[in-house]
Each structure stands twice: as C-alpha cells, then as structure tokens.
Amino acid sequence: MKKVVLVGVPGMNDEEVENLEQYIREEGVEEFSFLGKPVLSRDEALEKLKDADILVTWDQRMDDELYKELNLTAFCAASTGFDAADIEAATRNGVIVTNAKDYCVDEVSAHAVMLLLACGRRLYHVTENVKENVWSVKGIGNVKRFADSTVGIFAFGSIARGVAEKLKGFGVRMISYDPYVDEEIMKEYGVQKVDFDTLLVESDYITMHSPLTEDTKGIFSRDAFEKTKDSLVIVNTSRGGVIDQAAMYEMLKNGKIMAAGLDVLLNEPPTEAEKGLMGLSNVIVTPHSAYFSDEAQEQQLRITARDVGRIARGERPVNLRNSV
C-alpha cells in the first residue's frame, strides 16, 4: 500500500489535520504520516519525504531536482491552487498532480464580489470616518455608480463564472480575458470575451481568478497598469504572484489605482515587503480566507482524501491536473 505524507499546510487547524487523516484512512490507506504544518526546507524534504509515495500539502514547493531525488507517485494539493507542485516538473518526472477543485466556488466568488463592492463604495474610508466620530462622507472623493460600470474578469474558470452569476443583477457590463475559454461559454454568463489589452483599457474594476503559471506570473505589471483607467479598482482572490506587487504599491500610492481588495499576497504570511502595501488606506487585505466556510472546509478535506485513496488503489483520480 502507498505511504501518504501530510506536510506544508500552514494555517490548517488541528481538527482539520485530524479529520483529513481520518478521511484518508477511511479510503483504505494504512501508512499515513503527519510531519507538521510548516513547509520543509529542501534538505528536510529530501530526508523526510524519501519514503513517501503520495505527498498531501498546500505549500510544499517542488521542482525537477526534488522529484528526481524522491520517489513520489503523486502530489495532492489539498486546495484549489497547485502551483507549489510545479506541474511541468511533475509531469516530466511522471508524478500525478491533483487538487481540491471547486470545493469553494461559492465562497471565493462571494468574497470577490464583496471586495469589489467594498472598494468601489470606499468602505475602507467611511468606516474610518465613523471610528473617528466623523458621521459623513468627508474626504471620500469621487464615487461612481456601480451599475453601468465595466467589470473585467481575468481568467474564466469555475470561480470566475460564479462571480459573473452573482454580478448579473447589478447592471454591470462584464468582459473577460481567457485564451482557453470559448467565446460562446462566456456569452452564456453574459460576459464578452476580449483580449488582455482591452481588459486593461476598458475595465473600471478587474477581478483576478487565474492560477499562477509561467504565463500569468507578474502579468499585471507596471506596463499593464499604465494602460488602465486612473480610477481602477483591482481585486485578487487567486494568487499574489499574478501581480507585480511593487508596481501595484506605487500606483495605489499615487492614485493610478484607486483601490485594491486583496485576499492573496506575494508572500504569505506577509513579510516586510508587504508591510507598506497593507498600511495603505485604500487597500483592504484579508488573510487568504476567501475559501472559508464550514461547508467548504469539509468538502475540501473529503475531495482531497477521495483522490488520495484512488491513487493509493491504483485508480484514476477525479481531479487529475496533468497527463502522466
């Protein structure tokens, strides 16, 4: 039977760890080891994962060299995101990659819409006014009506489609850039397919829903932001790495970007590099919590355990992300 190892899940609480182990064992897995929540260093990974067949993790970062040194059968991301797997390296080394796909579509799409509205309505400003006993919109600046604005959706997977469904009642125009999704599918959601430059130029709001890949890493660069409207609101509930964080910080400071709602950062937990960004008055930051609900937590663990069990039994996993 395959040996399953859980590690690199900072933020997973003790009850979740216990439940995940229980669900994996219910799938018939007998050899299970929990090595701790922190991500292992490279040397630690080489030592502690040497006998592992299936790695279950959130953030344990892999690469060609590690895959070659270890004898993994599968990298099972207990999350929607699986960029830590380095899917190209995994595929080259014959390692299966899975994720907990679609367990939190409603939660993340709702969180994204919440941030869009909170930033657009300057919630960050008026709540501070109230705390300072200023019962007015003093200093709020220009606020445009949400209806008739253009919301740009970067990538159009399951969560982005949830956002489009939720925005239908607001009277906004929706456009999306995703080279991998057909125009006809977008039309079903009331969304117009556009190229990346059009997304940048025409959007009043941009909400980001893509995985972090070589193509999307840093795609929202200084040059990209220079093309946008000065009143742009950006929301990111995908991966911090799709944005050039330093460029975003500068443009939030000088007003080129009006506001940002961020559930993800380049470094998590935040480092000194994020301190300035988080301190800006026109930024709302949540702690990578968009996925969170009681129902989603349970589904996340069940989906992960199901595919671990299938792989351990030599069956095809449901959420296979690569071809091996």
Q: Return the active site residues.
A: 239, 268, 288
CB contact burial 79-108 (16+ within 10 A = b; e otherwise)? bbbbbbbbbebbbebebbbbbbbebbbbbb
Q: Rounded to 5 degrees, what are φ and ψ at 192? A: -95, 130
DSSP alpha helix (H) spans, 49-151: 64-69, 87-92, 105-120, 123-131
Contact 191, 60 (CB under 8 A): no
- Give the helix/strand (H/E) hosting 236: strand 232-236
Instruction: Tell me how far apart the alpha carbons of residues 61 and 255 are, in angstroms, rounded to a whole number.
Output: 36
Instruction: Tell me how far apart the alpha carbons of residues 274 and 245 are, in angstroms, rounded to a whole number.
Output: 8
Joined together, the tokens standing for residue 43 give 């040397």
Query: Cα 66 to the chain's mean position, in Å?
Result: 24
DSSP lists the bridge partners of residue 31 as 3
Joined together, the tokens standing for residue 96 give 């299966």
Instruction: Tell me how far apart the alpha carbons of residues 305 and 100 are, in angstroms, rounded to a whole number.
Output: 9
Instruction: Tell me how far apart the alpha carbons of residues 211 and 81 are, in angstroms, rounded to a whole number.
Output: 7
Instruction: Tell me how far apart the alpha carbons of residues 13 and 224 are, in angstroms, rounded to a whole number.
Output: 38
Contact 224, 200 (CB under 8 A): yes
DSSP state letter for 40:
P
